[in-house]
């Protein structure tokens, strides 16, 4: 790659880690971000401090077509991470969710197409494109839901699982997912889609609506109560952000061969954990019991999702390398150093 890499959402959690990896290898990076999420300006300051003039920040929104054309003009590749990321927000304002996620993505694709060059585009999709997986027969263990089908339990949900967009967020990301793949077919752009499970790690400013692993840790480290929506037996295959960055870079390095294809990206069966199991490990890390309450299930929530990432591994050699307990400890250490106020000691009478 001879020109800069454009990373939309490059000040966000995954984006800043990915930008840092590219910059560390000598690439110039255009970071397009509207800085709307609290805390992400700290990620941008961190990138500037580490990499100086090789980072080119562009404060702009995905709905700004002129800014997209400017950002794409000299880009050698595009990694599209910017999005409205919360199901709850999409339920409250589905039109805004559509404008950012669906319309913003096609506007970005058009900005890339207007360059007249075969610029690679990688898109951050989501496991929510597979819907609630309601047809999956489930069993229940002491602390988790599990599929009754043994091969599914052993390997996870494959890319061949029928798409079933659910909730406005699932619909907007699913529409974008399909447009990105179609631009490879219709226009010959080298594009690929990564359908992500739960990514966590340093530089994540998790909230109750998005980024639940970091949110749980932040609340626990600050001695604040945690609300579980549903029974807490939901299972996800959590993936450390350094492994996610490696996956994006491996697909980008092989984009000519992988163009037009979608890949699942997650921690796989070895990193499949229930919310309850994560909370138990967090209690161990903070050294005290947590205050946990329960709320109603959220729309579109999957009882069990584990990504079958064997296609990605077979095509690129990528593997998830960081076990979830080790990764959780890494995030806790980063949060203690950079994000969380210490819990005040109780005043004794």
Query: What is 239-259 written as a DSSP string?
Result: EEHHHHHHHHHHHHHTHHHHT
Of 7, 174, 28, 16, which is closest to residue 98 (Cα–Cα)?
Answer: 174
- List phi, psi (to 5°) of 180: -60, -45
Written in H, E and C, the secondary structure of 174-199 is: HHHHHHHHHHHHHHCCCEEEEEECCE
| Annotation says 130 is catalytic | no
**Separation of alpha carbons 65 and 226, rounded Å:** 40
**Separation of alpha carbons 29 and 18, rounded Å:** 10
Q: In whole angstroms, how far apart are CA 91 and each of 88, 174, 231, 267, 300?
A: 5, 15, 21, 28, 11
Instruction: Give the helix/strand (H/E) hosting 236.
Output: strand 235-237
Q: What order do you get walking across the sheet with 121-126 strand by strand?
A: 55-59, 29-33, 5-8, 77-80, 121-126, 191-196, 261-265
Q: Which of 169, 179, 183, 248 is catalytic?
A: 169
- Rounded to a whole number of angstroms, the CA Rg of the chain reads 20
- List phi, psi (to 5°) of 28: -90, 145
Catalytic residues, by residue number, are 169
């Amino acid at each position: 790659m001879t020109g800069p890499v454009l990373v939309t959402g490059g000040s966000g959690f995954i984006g800043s880690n990915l930008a840092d990896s590219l910059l560390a290898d000598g690439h110039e990076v255009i970071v397009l971000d509207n800085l709307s999420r609290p805390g992400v300006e700290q990620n941008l300051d961190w990138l500037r401090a580490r990499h100086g003039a090789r980072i080119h920040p562009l404060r702009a929104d995905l709905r700004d077509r002129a800014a997209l054309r400017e950002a794409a003009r000299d880009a050698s590749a595009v990694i599209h991470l910017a999005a409205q990321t919360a199901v709850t927000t999409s339920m409250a304002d589905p039109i805004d969710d559509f404008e950012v996620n669906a319309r913003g993505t096609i506007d970005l694709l058009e900005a890339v197409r207007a360059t007249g060059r075969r610029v690679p585009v990688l898109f951050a999709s989501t496991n929510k494109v597979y819907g609630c997986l309601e047809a999956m027969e489930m069993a229940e263990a002491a602390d988790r839901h599990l599929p009754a089908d043994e091969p599914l339990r052993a390997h996870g949900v494959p890319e061949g699982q029928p798409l079933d967009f659910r909730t406005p967020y699932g619909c907007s990301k699913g529409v974008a997912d399909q447009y990105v793949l179609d631009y490879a077919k219709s226009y010959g752009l080298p594009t690929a889609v990564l359908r992500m499970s739960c990514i966590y790690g340093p530089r994540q400013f998790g909230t109750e609506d998005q980024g639940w692993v970091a949110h749980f840790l932040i609340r626990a480290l600050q001695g604040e109560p945690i609300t579980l929506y549903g029974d807490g037996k939901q299972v996800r295959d959590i993936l450390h952000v350094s492994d996610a960055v490696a996956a994006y870079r491996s697909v980008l390095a092989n984009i000519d061969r992988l163009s037009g294809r979608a890949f699942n990206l997650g921690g796989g069966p070895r990193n499949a954990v229930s919310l309850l199991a994560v909370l138990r490990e967090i209690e161990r890390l903070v050294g005290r019991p947590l205050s946990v309450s329960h709320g109603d299930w959220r729309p579109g929530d999957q009882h069990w999702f584990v990504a079958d990432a064997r296609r990605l591994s077979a095509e690129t050699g990528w593997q998830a390398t960081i076990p979830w307990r080790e990764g959780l400890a890494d995030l806790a250490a980063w949060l203690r150093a950079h994000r969380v106020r210490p819990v005040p000691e109780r005043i004794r009478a």
